[in-house]
Amino acid sequence: MNLLLPDAIPADESFWTEVWPRFLQRAPLPPFADESLVFLDAFSKKILLDPALRREGAFAALAHWARRAHLEEYRCHGAATARGLVLHLAPANVDTLFAYSWFTALLCGNLNVVRVSRRSLATIAPLLATLRTLLAEPRFAAVRERTLLVTYEHDDTLTARFSGAAHARLIWGGDETIRTIRALPLPATAIEIAFADRFSLAAFCAAHVAALDSPALTRLAEALFNDAFQFGQKACASPRAVVFTGEPDVCRRASARFWPVLTDVVRQRAAGFGEADGIARLASAMAIAALVPGSRFTSRPADGAPPLVLLLPEWIPAVRALHDGAGLFVEFALPQLEPLAPLLTPRDQTLVAAGYSHGEISAFRAALPSRAVDRIVAPGTALDFDPVAWDGHNLLRQLTREISLPSL
């Protein structure tokens, strides 16, 4: 095991005999403590004022989110006091998610142990260096003393040791990871929040897309690019299926207009998929097509680059398991938005929707099965992190607790 923050050092036995006991003696901070807000705002400024760091879209998005003015908006969503020690088990597929998870729990006043995947280290190295520099400043001693970022290979013994002291455990990972970690005991009074494998879609009103002028159509394509390609379409909130709703001929016309524009955007933005992604993209498409007679490609760039678009005559649930991201979109059509609702399941997390009235969205939401879809968002905002409504959880409430104070 290596310690990443507040210092970058190997964690030998002295970690457990000296660092860990001292860490456990720290009292939590109050929710939205000034020390936490000033630290996060300083981090935000360091990223946004550094041209090299700011060019990384995921870093810039995190820094924008961590601005004090933005975080103050969440103040009314917390509770009375911190929960205690929060253990975060961060995923490898979304590199910056460790920071959103940690920062949210820090806002709530908690002590934090964050396990980061070794696969993420190269990508997040500039963030860690920036955070390490800030934590070394005397004014941020309160945050430094309550923060441990570690990395280690999958090791149930280490995870169990950290879990044994936790008041809350956040598991950001696939279903198999969740099953494994849930077998490791927590204290009886601790809570656990798990973020499982999820699937996301986009729904576009075909008449709306068909009527867009060229600049507006480009903006829509750029928004879907931001939603889908920032993490190689691996993020749970990244759409992997697109449904056009409306009359069949209008759906065909909207599709024929939209995908070439997205293809141009992908080429301009250099999405960064490698040869292995291309193989995975095609293999997923072929596996899906084999199950659905009448499937055909509506977009298949000659150079093998994304987006690869497979049009299905009907939706099949197997798409969720067979879709491997990497720039593949599964397209299908429906007469209206509302008939999409019964096709969705608790596995579906985010719906990116464009071109619908408030009434259409309300009718769709009312028709949803139990636990299907946690978020309905505008194009370009699928990856925006919101601790008040993420996977159906209000993290600011769950990572704090209320102490009853009846009149005495």
pLDDT of residue 77: 85
Q: Are residues 187 and 299 in the same domain?
A: no
**pLDDT tens digits for range 260-304:** 999 999 999 877 788 888 899 999 999 999 999 999 999 888 778
Q: Are residues 144 and 188 in the same domain?
A: yes
* Per-position DSSP letters for 118-178, written without gaps between them: GGGHHHHHHHHHHHHHHHTSGGGHHHHTTEEEEE-SS-HHHHHHHHTT-SEEEEES-HHHH
Q: Which two three-digit tokens encode residue 303?
A: 């150079």
**pLDDT tens digits for range 335-387:** 999 999 999 999 999 999 999 999 999 999 999 999 899 999 999 999 999 99
pLDDT of residue 78: 82
C-alpha distance across the termini of the chain, in Å: 49
Q: Are residues 49 and 186 in the same domain?
A: yes
The predicted model scores a pTM of 0.93
Helix, strand or coil, per DSSP, at residue 5: strand
Q: Are residues 33 and 47 in the same domain?
A: yes
Q: Are residues 216 and 160 in the same domain?
A: no
Q: Quick check: is 353 in a domain?
A: yes
Q: Quick check: is 280 in a domain?
A: yes
Burial class (CB in 10 A: 0-12, 13-18, 19+), 23: middle
Q: Are residues 192 and 256 in the same domain?
A: no
CB atoms within 10 A of CB 376: 15
**pLDDT tens digits for range 208-263:** 999 999 999 999 999 999 999 988 898 999 999 999 999 999 999 999 999 999 99
> CB–CB of 354/204 below 8 Å?
yes
CATH number of the domain where residue 132 is located: 3.40.605.10
Q: Quick check: is 384 in a domain?
A: no
Q: Quick check: is 79 in a domain?
A: yes
Q: Quick check: is 71 in a domain?
A: yes
The CA distance from 347 to 401, in Å, is: 29
The CA distance from 225 to 307, in Å, is: 10
CATH number of the domain where residue 309 is located: 3.40.309.10
Q: Quick check: is 386 in a domain?
A: no
Q: Are residues 25 and 164 in the same domain?
A: yes
Q: How many CA atoms does the CB half-sphere of 148 hold within 13 Å?
A: 26
**pLDDT tens digits for range 97-156:** 999 999 999 999 999 999 999 999 999 999 999 999 999 999 999 999 999 999 999 999
**pLDDT tens digits for range 27-83:** 999 999 999 999 999 999 999 999 999 999 899 999 999 999 999 999 988 888 999
The CA distance from 66 to 59, in Å, is: 11
Burial class (CB in 10 A: 0-12, 13-18, 19+), 35: middle
CA 378 to chain centre: 16
pLDDT of residue 403: 87
Q: Quick check: is 312 in a domain?
A: yes
What percent of the chain lies above the pLDDT cut of 90? 86
Q: Which two three-digit tokens encode residue 407?
A: 């009149």
Q: Are residues 160 and 294 in the same domain?
A: no
Q: Are residues 370 and 259 in the same domain?
A: yes
Q: Residue 408: which pLDDT band, with cuts at 50, 70 and 90?
A: low
Q: Are residues 63 and 23 in the same domain?
A: yes
Q: Are residues 187 and 204 in the same domain?
A: no
Residue range(s) defining the domain that contains residue 181: 2-197+391-401
Q: Quick check: is 407 in a domain?
A: no
Count how many domains the chain has.
Answer: 2
Q: Are residues 141 and 176 in the same domain?
A: yes
